[in-house]
Chain A
Amino acid sequence: MSSIQINNVTKRFGEFTAVSDLSIDIEDGEFVALLGPSGCGKTTTMNMIAGLEEATEGEILFNGQDLSHTPIQQRNIGFVFQNYAIFTHMTVYKNLSYGLEVNNVPKDQITSRVAAMAKRMNLTHCLDAPAASLSVNEMQKLAIGRSAIAEPRIFLLDEPLSNLDAGFRAYMRSELKVLQREFGQTMIYVTHDQIEAMSLADKIAIIDQGKLMQYGSPLEVYNNPCNRFVANFVGSPKINLLDGQIKGANGSTKLITQGGAEVALQGKISSDFAKLKSSKGGSIGIRPQDIYFGEKRASDDIQLHGYVEELERVGPKRLVHLQVHRTQIVAEDERDALSIGDEVEFFLTADKCMAFDLDSGDRLTGGAA
């Protein structure tokens, strides 16, 4: 068990910077997800934590201790590889016992611990089978069991679910949560799937192009994204982003989209944009469930007019794709009363609107008002 501090870590491969000035604090026993698109440096970060890759700059501390000069073998880090890295020339039993055997654990202990882990992972029936004969799902469980059996101080999982079929993925997701509670270990979990990260992690570190975008609890990240990338990356259905030029000042601000739609802004959102400096324009972020139809509920809510282009049913919800001057907006339709082609008035809840600088992507908050 261990806390982890990643302090200003940079990793360069030649000229290319894969991870840039990354700092993350992980408390003992926490479940942290590294979330980001493919190629953003998640695996590289994991490799540096595990010691498979050396940081170009910065340091990684375990309980305040720098392990960079400790051989990988003695770090006691559990690592589940993206493709499991099962020892295919051995039996399932030998796979599970490997970490114990090489650490000279007494024979009788090995037998009982392997049996317990096999039972925990539902692998008892195939203990003597060659590991190569397992299904992908079983390999996944074996990979986790093999790392967990040695009781590592921390547990790293690199996209452990991405190769699984949908049903088993959902099962493993809840299983992982249970396992983490049982083991009580600090876990770092890499994924490019924001739903996975949101549902599993205590904290999420969102990374883009090697840089940390935001680090916080799933709700924080969802409700209060610190930039346009995070807002866009987190949440399903996706957030709506209205890009355009900000015109006017002091009370009567307008956002004019490329399609020519004029969105009048009042109150908080208007003052947020007072901070905008870039000439490229600004961007309003609003989640589909924060758009409503019917009567205006608050005076600052933004009123828009559009027609219904498409209706989409996602589970019990109905999503409406609205077209406003060649800009598409997706809203959740609670009333279930619209049909394709309808012209409607709808409202963006003012409190939930977020202002972003279109150039830097930064969140703009708290202007003069």
Chain B
Amino acid sequence: MTELSSNTSASLASNVGEKRGYWSRVGRDGRKLGKWFVAPTVALLIFIVIFPLLMQLYLSFTWWTPLDGVPWYQAYESFNWGENYLILAYDPAFWAALWRTAMIMLVAVPAQFFLGLGLAYLFIDKFPGRKVFYSIVLTPMMVVPAVVGLMFFLLFQGTGPVNDSLGLPASFSWLTDPNRALISVIIADTWQWTPLMFLILLAGMLGVPSDQLLAARLLGGSNWQNFYKIILPRMKSVIAIAIVLRLVECFKIFDLIFIMTSGGPGVATETISLFLYKKTFADLDWAYVGAVGLAVLIVLSLIAAFGLSRVAKNKG
């Protein structure tokens, strides 16, 4: 009996040992083989991601435009040693557009953050009608941005509902006044994207263990103290993600403004995207657009890298 059992356990052990060896060998060889299987996909991916960027980089070092009558790959004929970047550095229209974009980001994103945070806080406790309000609050996010643009275009007309309800005369113009046009755009963007902030922040807030909140309350912490010391610190990562996401999206804002003001009056609401649009289709200055696009890409990458490195740090 004992002999038998020791035999079986020994053979079992050796079996397991063999198995482990077998699989690790397959693993080693398999990994080598696997590389060849995924290689085409990786190559395709690299091509899809990298090629347009390289093409853009290439064109941005030339004077090429589609009117030249030369195919794009022969653009080297008008190679200019990066003069586009020099022009860009001294282009007041570019810097003005960048500044306007920054203005929108710096006002709209914090506004959306605080509104979203406040709304999320209201939603962590149950109250009657919570589900209905939840759906209502999320609705703006679902609307096509161009439609939001149209809605606010109509709302902000001189004889529109906004002026009517505020008791302002029709001559009080929103979209045709340089300062108020930017504010209108920020309001529209905030209306549409606060829900996204709300959604992300609510998810983060609900992730805070409720018994820790109860414990904090029982220890005598006021709602504000507990919010500041328990909820917020635990939401750092989520907050960073939400803000980076919105900053990057805000930087790229286009459809809303295109419908509401087309960048006007004058260039009062011309953001980077509208600036690029004009350079592409009005001026056909594609090489220059390539230079601007790459510069913008670098700015965005820096924002994202900064924000997300903080997330990584919190994780660790």
Contacts and interface: CB of A to CB of B under 8 A. Distances in A.
Interface in B214-238: 214-222, 225-226, 229-230, 233-234
A89 B229 CA distance: 10
B212 A74 contact: no
A102 B222 CA distance: 7
B316 to A, nearest CB: 12
A89 B226 CA distance: 13
B211 interface: yes
Contact of A72 (B212, B218, B229, B233): B218
Interface string A132-160: 00000000000000110010000000000
A99 B216 CA distance: 8
Given A85-B209, A102-B225, A79 B218 contact: yes
A92 interface: no
B222 to A, nearest CB: 6
B229 A98 contact: yes
Interface in A71-122: 72-79, 81, 83, 85-90, 98-99, 102-103
Contacts of A102: 216, 219-222, 225-226, 229
A72 B220 CA distance: 7
A50 B220 CA distance: 12
Contacts of B222: 73, 102
Q: Is the interface of A mostly helix, strand, loop or mixed?
A: loop
B220 A99 contact: yes
Contacts of A77: 218
Among B215, B219, B225, chain A packs the most CB atoms within 10 A around the CB of B219
Given A87-B230, A89-B233, A89-B234, A98 B221 contact: yes
B220 A83 contact: no
A147 B211 contact: no
Interface in A38-84: 50, 52, 72-79, 81, 83
A52 B211 CA distance: 10
B29 to A, nearest CB: 41
A103 B220 contact: yes
B48 to A, nearest CB: 41
A77 B217 CA distance: 10
A73 B218 CA distance: 5
Interface residues of B, number: 18
Nearest to A98: B219
A72 B218 CA distance: 6
Contacts of B209: 85
Contacts of A86: 212
Contacts of B216: 87, 98, 102
A73 B211 contact: no
Contacts of A87: 212, 215-216, 230
A146 B211 contact: no
B217 A85 contact: no
B233 to A, nearest CB: 5
A155 to B, nearest CB: 11
Contact of A85 (B215, B221, B226): B215
Contacts of B233: 89-90
Given A87-B230, A102-B225, A79 B220 contact: no
Interface string B82-111: 000000000000000000000000000000
A99 B233 CA distance: 17
A231 to B, nearest CB: 35
B229 A85 contact: no
Contact of B219 (A52, A90, A150): A150
B311 to A, nearest CB: 15
- Highest count of chain B CB atoms <10 Å: which of A98, A99, A146, A147: A98
A147 B214 CA distance: 12
B175 to A, nearest CB: 46
Nearest to B230: A87
27 contacts: A52-B214, A72-B214, A73-B220, A73-B221, A73-B222, A74-B220, A75-B218, A78-B218, A79-B215, A79-B218, A81-B211, A81-B215, A85-B211, A85-B214, A87-B215, A87-B216, A89-B234, A98-B216, A102-B216, A102-B219, A102-B225, A102-B229, A103-B220, A146-B215, A147-B219, A150-B219, A150-B220
Query: Top 10 closest A-B pairs, CB basis?
Result: A99-B219, A102-B221, A85-B211, A85-B215, A79-B218, A85-B212, A102-B225, A103-B220, A72-B217, A73-B220
Interface of B: 209, 211-212, 214-222, 225-226, 229-230, 233-234
Interface of A: 50, 52, 72-79, 81, 83, 85-90, 98-99, 102-103, 146-147, 150
Given A76-B220, A89-B234, A103-B220, 14 more contacts: A52-B218, A72-B217, A73-B220, A73-B221, A79-B218, A83-B211, A85-B211, A86-B212, A99-B220, A99-B221, A102-B221, A102-B225, A146-B215, A150-B219
